[in-house]
C-alpha cells in the first residue's frame, strides 16, 4: 500500500467503477473523496455495494447519480435511501452517457427536483462540466446555469467537476466562462491519469473528448508510441483558475496512486 501524508497545495479526488472499491486502499493518504461511476448499464445496487468498503478504508464515497440510468422512481428511491443510510452528503448528479432515458428522468435537473433526492440527505451536489461541449446537450452551459441557480434556491452547496481534457487553455477558458456567468462554485478539473496513449484514445472516443483525440492523432500511431504513458503533470501546471483536480485512472489504480505520490512530493 502506498501512503502519503505530506500536505500540498493541489487538492485531488479520483473516480473508480464500483467493482474497484476493494482495491482503493492504494490511495490511502493521497485522496479523501472517491467518486463512484454510474456508467450506462450500471445497477444502482452495484453503486451501493461500493459504499461500505470505501468507508471502511477511510474514504468518503461520492457516487454518481445518473438521471437517465434509472428505470423507475423506485430505483432512484432505493439509491437515495442508501445515501441517507450510509451518511453520504455529497454526490455527482449528471444526466448520464446514454442517449435515451431508461425511465422518468431525461435530465439531471428533474432528478434534483424529485422527492426521492430531496429526502436523500445530500448537502453538496457536484455538477458535470464540459470544457469541450457536451455531445448530448447542445446547451450544456445554459443547463449548468439552471442547475446552479436551482441548487442556490434549494440551499444546497455546489461544485463543478469537469470532463477530462488535454487542453489546459480550453479548460482555463471554461473556468473563466463560469465566473462570467456568475457561477462561483469551486471547479474541480478532470485529469487523464498516466495511462497509455492507446488507452486514452479508446476512452476519448467513448467520452467524446475531441481535444484529446486531436492531441493523440498528432502523436502518430506507431505501436511504440501507443504504448507510451501520458504524464498529466504538464497539463495540471498550465490550468488556471483552480487548484482542485479530479483524476481519471482508467482502471490503472496502482499506476495512478504512484503518480499521485510523486506529484505530492514535487509540489510539497
Q: Render pLDDT for 151-202 as a digit per residue (tens, 0 to 9).
A: 999 999 999 999 988 889 999 999 999 999 999 999 999 998 887 777 777 6
Residue 99 lies in a domain: yes
Q: Choose among 104, 54, 53: nearest CA to 75.
A: 104
| Percent of the chain clearing pLDDT 70 (strictly above) | 84
For 111, the 3-state DSSP assignment is helix
Residue 218 lies in a domain: no
Place of cell 448530448: 136
Residue 202 lies in a domain: no
For 15, the 3-state DSSP assignment is strand
Q: Is the predicted pLDDT of residue 4 greater than 90, yes or no?
A: no
- 124: CB partners within 8 A, 6+ apart: 89, 90, 91, 156, 157, 158, 159
Please state the domain count of the chain: 1
Which region holds residue 146: left if phi is over 0, alpha if psi is between -120 and 50, else beta? alpha
Residue 207 lies in a domain: no
* Residue 217 or 53, more confident: 53
**pLDDT tens digits, one per residue of 20-41:** 999 999 999 999 999 999 988 8
Distance, in Å, from the CA atom of 130 to the CA atom of 156, rounded to the nearest integer, reads 21
Q: Is the predicted pLDDT of residue 221 greater than 50, yes or no?
A: no
Place of cell 474541480: 188
Residue 177 lies in a domain: yes
Mean pLDDT, residues 70-95 = 97
Would you state the pLDDT for residue 258? 95
Provide the residue range defining the domain that includes 164: 11-195+230-263
What value does the mean pLDDT of the chain take? 87
* Residue 217 or 241, more confident: 241
Would you state the pLDDT for residue 198? 72
Residue 212 lies in a domain: no
Q: Choose among 65, 68, 77: nearest CA to 120.
A: 77
Distance, in Å, from the CA atom of 17 to the CA atom of 47, rounded to the nearest integer, reads 8
In this structure, what are the phi and psi dihedrals at residue 64, rounded to the nearest 5 degrees?
-70, 140
- Confidence class for position 267, pLDDT limits 50, 70, 90: low
Which grid cell is 76? 432512484
The CATH code of the domain that includes 48 is 3.20.20.220
Mean pLDDT, residues 1-22 = 73
- Confidence class for position 111, pLDDT limits 50, 70, 90: very high
DSSP string, 165-205: -S-HHHHHHHHHHHHHTT--S-EEEEEE-S-BHHHHHHHHH
Which grid cell is 93? 448528479
Residue 4 lies in a domain: no
113-118 contact pairs (CB < 8 A, 24+)? 113/150, 114/73, 114/76, 116/73, 116/76, 116/77, 116/80, 116/81, 117/65, 117/76, 117/80, 117/93, 118/154
Amino acid at each position: 500500500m502506498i501512503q502519503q501524508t505530506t500536505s500540498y497545495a493541489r487538492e485531488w479526488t479520483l473516480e473508480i467503477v464500483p467493482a474497484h472499491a476493494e482495491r482503493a486502499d492504494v490511495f490511502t493518504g493521497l485522496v479523501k473523496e472517491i467518486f463512484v461511476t454510474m456508467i450506462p448499464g450500471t445497477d444502482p445496487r452495484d453503486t451501493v455495494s461500493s459504499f461500505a468498503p470505501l468507508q471502511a478504508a477511510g474514504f468518503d464515497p461520492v457516487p454518481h447519480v445518473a438521471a437517465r440510468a434509472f428505470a423507475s422512481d423506485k430505483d432512484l428511491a432505493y439509491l437515495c435511501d442508501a445515501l441517507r443510510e450510509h451518511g453520504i452528503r455529497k454526490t455527482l448528479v449528471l444526466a448520464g452517457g446514454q442517449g435515451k432515458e431508461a425511465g422518468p428522468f431525461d435530465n439531471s435537473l428533474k432528478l434534483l427536483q424529485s422527492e426521492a433526492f430531496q429526502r436523500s440527505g445530500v448537502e453538496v451536489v457536484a455538477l458535470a462540466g464540459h470544457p469541450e461541449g457536451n455531445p448530448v446537450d447542445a446547451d450544456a452551459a445554459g443547463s449548468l446555469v439552471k442547475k446552479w441557480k436551482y441548487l442556490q434556491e434549494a440551499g444546497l452547496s455546489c461544485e463543478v467537476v469537469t470532463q477530462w481534457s488535454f487542453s489546459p487553455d480550453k479548460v482555463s477558458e471554461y473556468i473563466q466562462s463560469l465566473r462570467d456567468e456568475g457561477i462561483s462554485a469551486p471547479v474541480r478539473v478532470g485529469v487523464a491519469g498516466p495511462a497509455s496513449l492507446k488507452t486514452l484514445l479508446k476512452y476519448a472516443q467513448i467520452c467524446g473528448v475531441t481535444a484529446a483525440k486531436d492531441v493523440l492523432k498528432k502523436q502518430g500511431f506507431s505501436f511504440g508510441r501507443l504504448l507510451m504513458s501520458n504524464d498529466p503533470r504538464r497539463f495540471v501546471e498550465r490550468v488556471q483558475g483552480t487548484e482542485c483536480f479530479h483524476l481519471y485512472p482508467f482502471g490503472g489504480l496502482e499506476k495512478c496512486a504512484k503518480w499521485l505520490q510523486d506529484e505530492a512530493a514535487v509540489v510539497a
